Amino acid sequence: MTETRFQQLVKWGGLALLLAAVGNIFFVLRYREAYRDATRIEQVYPQQLATLNLEQQALEGVIRDFAGKAGTDPRVAEILRRYGLVTAPKP
């Protein structure tokens, strides 16, 4: 290896190491941010699921109540039929 070739390797090698170090730091910080977001979502998800389950139970209760009145109230029966929640009464 000649002296000029060695000087070029030292010059460009240092630059390549610097770029690799900056790239590694960037990727580490990026993955750390993604991990932080994932752990935050993991903590919030059970709370959201519980809220949705409560809302679903409330809606099912309302539908059951209206379905009970569908036989006596034609307006309620029409609303439930429109959304496909209750089948039409058989003659």
pLDDT tens by residue, the chain, 91 residues: 788 888 888 889 888 999 999 999 998 888 888 888 888 888 889 888 888 988 888 888 887 887 777 778 788 778 778 877 655 554 4
Pairwise CA distance, residues 55 & 61, whole Å: 10
Q: Which amino acid is at 43?
A: Q
Helical packing angle, 3-69 and 74-82, nearest 10°: 150
Mark out the alpha helices in 1-91 (DSSP H runs).
3-69, 74-82
